[in-house]
């Protein structure tokens, strides 16, 4: 893979790379039944602040250094604002106002933004196969998340899409999910700058605490009945989302994002709706349509293309070189001297 797994010195590095997206997908399933009985900003704070404390405790046991100097705290504060407060705030408010399927399409489109930012800031090579993979991934999660009738309407010549349709779409909260996707993409890129001044694990913990405090502050003023209606199973679901879907998932994700290819790592975000669909089918009896199964297949192919783009390009170059070397040289007529 483009992420150079051997550099991380883990025996199960591949599983650890996939773990954040598995945990995010299953956390979405766990939280699906919690949303009606709580408030979005309180829920967003629960996902961040306690998880940040857990990460800092783990970092202390691991002997990770604490941030030092104003530059480190400045970058961590910016990181907290963008990837903590804005991302989780937009995500939570968007989940209340949009369907889960369409919301997941918009939030999981962020690998495209990460690829563009990485190309601009770090000159990461994407290549033809990488762009094909990104396009295929966006198409795949669209088939997974968008209603089937929307897909069929795209191929129906008698269907007219008006400006009012798009206004209705974004009035229902999808624009909040788009802002969340852009915030997460910016946060993924920012971790490279944060790690120049601070340890990635402790920085992740502090950014979750600093990002969660404003969410709880706004919730205390603008929301009410945040936890009074929650019952024991819902607290367990919130606990799973906090410990596994936030502390462990974000700790692993930003550790890997601190080095290696951001485009390759971010492409694995396409797996999140796949895991959400699979476990939604298992635990919530949600049935996948044939179009969604096609989308799952396209998503998996896209991840392969993005993460193997250099190898695929190398094979093509090798084949072209071999073809050139195996071709018979043109005959050169040598005329006798006069």
In percent, the amount of the chain with pLDDT more than 70 equals 62
CA 312 – CA 254 distance, rounded (Å): 27
Kindly state the DSSP code that residue 289 receives in the 8-state scheme: P
Higher pLDDT, 147 or 76: 76
3-state secondary structure of 313: helix
| pLDDT per residue as tens digits for the range 160-218 | 555 445 445 445 566 777 788 788 888 888 888 898 999 988 999 999 999 999 999 99
| pLDDT per residue as tens digits for the range 104-148 | 656 666 776 667 666 666 666 677 777 787 777 777 767 766 666
CA 270 – CA 145 distance, rounded (Å): 11
Token digits of residue 45: 């704070």
Q: Are 277 and 300 in contact (CB under 8 A)?
A: no
Listed residue (83, 43, 77) closest to 218, CA to CA: 43
- For the chain, give the mean pLDDT: 75
Threshold 0.75, pTM exceeds:
no
For residue 150, the model assigns a pLDDT of 66
Helices (H) and strands (E) in the chain — how many of each?
Answer: 17, 0
Using left for φ > 0, alpha for ψ between -120 and 50, and beta otherwise, residue 100 falls in alpha
For residue 313, how many C-alpha atoms fall within 13 Å in the half-sphere facing its CB?
16
Q: Are 182 and 141 in contact (CB under 8 A)?
A: no
Kindly state the DSSP code that residue 80 receives in the 8-state scheme: I
């Amino acid at each position: 893979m483009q992420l150079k797994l051997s550099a991380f010195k883990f025996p199960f590095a591949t599983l650890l790379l996939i773990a954040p997206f598995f945990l995010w997908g299953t956390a979405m399933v766990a939280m699906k039944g919690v949303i009606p009985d709580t408030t979005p900003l309180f829920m967003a704070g629960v996902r961040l602040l306690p998880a940040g404390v857990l990460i800092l405790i783990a970092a202390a046991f691991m002997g990770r250094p604490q941030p030092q100097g104003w530059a480190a705290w400045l970058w961590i504060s910016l990181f907290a604002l963008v990837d903590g407060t804005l991302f989780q705030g937009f995500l939570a408010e968007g989940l209340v106002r949009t369907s889960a399927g369409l919301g997941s399409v918009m939030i999981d489109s962020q690998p495209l933004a990460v690829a563009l930012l990485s190309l601009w800031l770090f000159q990461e090579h994407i290549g033809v196969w990488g762009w094909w993979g990104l396009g295929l991934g966006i198409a795949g999660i669209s088939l997974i998340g968008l209603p089937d009738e929307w897909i069929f309407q795209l191929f129906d010549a008698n269907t007219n899409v008006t400006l009012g349709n798009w206004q209705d779409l974004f009035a229902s909260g999808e624009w909040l999910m788009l802002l969340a996707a852009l915030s997460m993409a910016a946060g993924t890129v920012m971790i490279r700058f944060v790690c120049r001044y601070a340890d990635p694990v402790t920085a992740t913990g502090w950014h979750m605490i600093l990002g969660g405090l404003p969410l709880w502050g706004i919730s205390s003023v603008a929301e009410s009945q945040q936890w009074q209606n929650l019952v024991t199973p819902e607290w367990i679901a919130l606990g799973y989302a906090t410990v596994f879907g936030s502390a462990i998932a974000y700790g692993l994700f930003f550790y890997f994002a601190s080095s290696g290819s951001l485009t390759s790592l971010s492409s694995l975000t396409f797996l999140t709706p796949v895991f959400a669909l699979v476990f939604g089918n298992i635990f919530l009896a949600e049935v996948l349509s044939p179009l969604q199964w096609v989308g799952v297949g396209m998503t998996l192919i896209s991840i392969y293309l993005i993460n193997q783009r250099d190898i695929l390009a190398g094979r093509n170059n090798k084949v072209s070189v071999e073809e050139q070397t195996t071709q018979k040289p043109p005959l050169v007529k040598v005329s006798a001297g006069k």
